[in-house]
Structure 1
């Protein structure tokens, strides 16, 4: 399994992965992906047997990013790394790929002097797999908000970047 920076050649596969999990993430077309890639501090893919099987997009503070969840953190925390989305192909679920991406994310935050990582996951509709995954990495709820015109409610999560093994 290789984790590397995403390249434009990966975009079609990233869009397919996102579409497969759109109920837990949010819609993303190619122009939106190009925009997010340009904003991202980190945009990684996990590659297995020459195929992208997961991706992670994360942004730093201080952007004019139009995500209501990102803006929620931006108004409350001066310095953070925000996970916009992480998606693992369902056929590779349970293989530790998401954990590998997050361990690298925490290592990168630590190396950059970023003390907090922010994210959110759905409470309504519920996403218990994401809740359990994030709890393993020390995330705790710091707020909740309705999104998508009230069709979803998210738990806004924050984790302190500390030296520990996950």
Structure 2
């Protein structure tokens, strides 16, 4: 998409990021502005995608050894010495299927390569199912390394990694 730019998160993006998160909250955990500020301070990278100067997507990642209490992040922390964890990638409903998520994942993998991070990790909902996400991650070479029941049994996630060469 020729009118798309990927850039670092800026404080002016808080409200739009919260809107995007709320729009897809059924696949994510909810965020408040305070929680978002806290997790960004611990994050490795947070990238924004603008299309025609409108924020339409973002990705938030963490390295190992951070003070982050996500049960899925903690699973990877218990099982991998070094990794880059994709906590959330969100694309506005109106822009889904237009390559924004792909561009964000390419930036995450590029970041991992340039920082000698051996694995990129993520989780995908399998109960309730998110087949589009499974196919998307498969295209990037992600493989399941575990499963976990979360949110008091309401969700089951597939814990996946891709080895970075």
Q: Are residue 128 (structure 1) and residue 97 (structure 2) matched?
A: no
In the alignment, structure 1 segments of 5+ residues that lack a partner are: none
Instruction: Tell me how far apart the structure 2 counterparts of residues 103 and 76 of structure 1 sit (CA, whole Å).
Output: 24
Work out the number of aligned pairs and report it. Answer: 162
Choose from 52, 55, 58 the match for 1:49: 52
The structure 1 segments of at least 4 consecutive aligned residues displaced by more than 3 Å after TM superposition are none
Residue aligning to 1:110: 113
Residue aligning to 1:148: 151
Residue aligning to 1:40: 43
**1:38-90: CA deviations, max 9, x gaps?**
11101010001111000000000011210100000001100000000000011
1:48-87 alignment, distance < 5 Å? 48-87=51-90
SS of residue paired to 1:113: coil
**1:119-141: CA deviations, max 9, x gaps?**
10101111111111100000010
Q: Are residue 6 (structure 1) and residue 6 (structure 2) matched?
A: no
Instruction: Tell me how far apart the structure 1 counterparts of residues 42 and 152 of structure 2 sit (CA, whole Å).
Output: 24
Q: Are residue 30 (structure 1) and residue 20 (structure 2) matched?
A: no
Instruction: Tell me how far apart the structure 2 counterparts of residues 26 and 129 of structure 1 sit (CA, whole Å).
Output: 19
In the alignment, structure 2 segments of 5+ residues that lack a partner are: none
Instruction: Tell me how far apart the structure 2 counterparts of residues 131 and 19 of structure 1 sit (CA, whole Å).
Output: 21
Instruction: Tell me how far apart the structure 2 counterparts of residues 6 and 149 of structure 1 sit (CA, whole Å).
Output: 32
TM-score by length of 1: 0.96
Instruction: Tell me how far apart the structure 2 counterparts of residues 132 and 25 of structure 1 sit (CA, whole Å).
Output: 18
SS of residue paired to 2:50: strand
